[in-house]
Amino acid sequence: MAEEKTEQTDQTEEKATSQKTADSQAADGAEKAAETAAEGEKKELTPEEKIAALEKENADLKDQLLRRAADFDNYRKRMMKEKQDTYDYANAGLLGDLLDSLDNFDRTIDAAKDAKDAKAIADGIKMINKNLVKMLEDKYGLTGYGKEGDEFNPDEHEAIGRMEDEKAKKETLAQVYLKGYKLKDKVIRHAKVMVKVPKQ
């Protein structure tokens, strides 16, 4: 009897396990069918839905394009303003440094009204000139050149006349009418000179 009961219990358990497996397989099948149906619904949009989606995408792209165009325009305007400011105020530092010399000239002019000694005025002007030249050389790299006896160099000197000299062995500066100036290594004004050349 006990053996019969054990067999019945085993058969009942086997049926229950089989039923669970079948139920599980059915549930999996139902889930897959639902997923397939959902994918089918996603893939099969109506023409109106497709048009609406494309219009939305188009509107988003237009908005992005307009924003980028506005950003670029603002950047361009900012760069133009900075460039103009740089151009307008490029010489502000130099002009500020020249103000001391202008003040000294004003003081010299005021002193000259009552001065009885011309030498004192001349000495004052020489001092202003010396300080101005030193400031331009030290701070800005501006140097003057051209003095009598220097060798003539057409890249640096502008000859406004020539004179022959029996003693001259090469072209030299006989007279300097206007000094030349270099900013660092670049000539910004040629010296105007009379050139002495060997007699032929």
Confidence of residue 199 (pLDDT cuts 50, 70, 90): confident
- Hey, what amino acid is at 149? G
Residue 158: burial class (beta carbons within 10 Å; 0-12, 13-18, 19+): middle
Residue of higher predicted confidence among 28 and 162: 162
- Hey, what amino acid is at 76? R
Lookup result for tokens 């009204």:
113
Task: Find the mean pLDDT for residues 34-55.
Answer: 73
Q: Which helix (H) or strand (E) holds 109?
A: helix 92-114
Q: Which domains does the chain have, with CATH numbers?
A: 141-200 (2.30.22.10)
Confidence of residue 87 (pLDDT cuts 50, 70, 90): confident
Q: Which helix (H) or strand (E) holds 182?
A: strand 180-183
pLDDT at 37 over 90: no
| Cα–Cα distance measured from residue 150 to residue 173, given in angstroms and rounded to the nearest whole number | 5
Residue 106 contacts residue 60 (beta carbons within 8 Å): no
| Cα–Cα distance measured from residue 149 to residue 157, given in angstroms and rounded to the nearest whole number | 13
Residue of higher predicted confidence among 110 and 40: 110
pLDDT at 2 over 50: no
Q: Which of 11-20, 43-52, 191-200 has the lowest mean pLDDT?
A: 11-20
Q: What does the block give as tokens for 99? A: 């103000």
Residue of higher predicted confidence among 86 and 199: 86
Confidence of residue 45 (pLDDT cuts 50, 70, 90): confident
| Cα–Cα distance measured from residue 48 to residue 46, given in angstroms and rounded to the nearest whole number | 5
Map residue 168 onto helix, strand or coil: coil
